[in-house]
Amino acid sequence: MKVAMWYNNRDVRIEEKPTPKIGPGEVLVRVEASGICGSDVMEWYRIDRAPLILGHEVSGQIISVGEGVKRYKEGDRVALAHHVPCNTCHYCLSGHHTVCETLRKTNFDPGGFVEYVRMPAINVDRGLFVIPDHVSYEDASFVEPLACVLRGQRIARMQLGSTVIVIGAGIAGLMHVMLAHALGAGKVIATDLSEYRLEAAKRLGADFAINAKEDLPARLREINHGLLADLIIVCAGAPSAIAQSMESVERGGTILFFATTNPGAATPISMNELFWRTEITLTSSYGGSPGDYQAALDLIGAKTIPVHQMISHRLPLAKAGLGFQLVAEGHNSLKVIIEPQK
């Protein structure tokens, strides 16, 4: 089969690999759509392990089932989870499935930017989600990233009527904008340096779109009756974005750190100014649990979150290299979908 082998963001080669063989409890999926995630282009995180087959935002059709598989059959249209939890450890039983050691070690084989992918038995057991007939493969490829966004806003306790700021209007930030809007936030405000992304944020549900160079706390007080934000979701890894979030959160508010920084990046925190007598909460989230995946698929199926509006490029596997360049540069692209069967 053909695979897109990643050496770096400017060197993605189409190579041949054997189609995976499945065993008992496993299934083979023909990949129909695979989204390029912002984490796929984080070279510092992956370059020492290159070459790699990346891709984890995947949907496709089951073409073969192994012995003992009862819940799924050939022809089922499915969204895939690459990481799955054990469901029995301390972390899972306390609701923190995404810090489970099993979740950190599981994956499908060999990655999403391929023609066919093997789902190990544990992933079949808790990482396959049947796509309704009216949901397209490309829309279903958003299940994984939307599951992460859902989990983040649940951990941050986004409340009806809240003033929500999303710092960084990349694809994750735009999904946070759409979800906060759908869940009844009072005001949704997006910030970014890119006018292209700010226009997208307004189109997708932001009440205000503010250039990150502006004085965000001052603008907030202008548009929010003198108050700062109840919830700030940081979807940019720059230390300046983190510092801006701390200047813009209202007393009793929450900052959700959703994006990672570059290695070694640090932001000083004034404990007295930020915490003493303010009751501010700092929190973070990572990934999504099986329940988050199903909830994401339900939202997509109900068209509550019209994810198709975020797709800017659809490319065949042969042009995966162009897709990586588009996402890495981030100027005039939103979600780039690779379609290996095209």
pLDDT tens by residue, 6-23: 999 999 999 999 999 999
Residue 209 pLDDT > 90: yes
Nearest to 82 by CA among 64, 62, 102, 52: 102
Q: Please answer whether residues 138 and 337 qualify as being in contact, where contact means their C-beta atoms are separated by less than 8 angstroms.
A: yes
Distance CA 117, CA 78 (A): 12
Domains and CATH numbers, the chain: 2-147+287-339 (3.90.180.10), 157-284 (3.40.50.720)
264-300: b (≥16 Cβ within 10 Å) or e: eeeeeeeeeeeeeeeebebeebbbbbbebbbbbbebb
- Residue type at 153? Q
Q: Tell me the mean pLDDT in the region 215-237.
A: 97
Residue 262 pLDDT > 90: no
pLDDT tens by residue, 90-100: 999 999 999 99
pLDDT tens by residue, 137-173: 999 999 999 999 999 999 999 999 999 999 999 999 9
Distance CA 75, CA 62 (A): 5
> Which residue has better confidence, 237 or 24?
24
Q: Tell me the mean pLDDT in the region 239-267.
A: 92
pLDDT given at position 154: 97
Distance CA 170, CA 77 (A): 28
Specify the pTM. 0.96
pLDDT given at position 274: 81
pLDDT given at position 192: 97
Residue 330 pLDDT > 90: no
pLDDT given at position 269: 82
pLDDT tens by residue, 270-314: 888 788 889 999 999 999 999 999 999 999 999 999 999 999 999
As a whole-number percent, the residues of the chain with pLDDT over 90 amount to 94
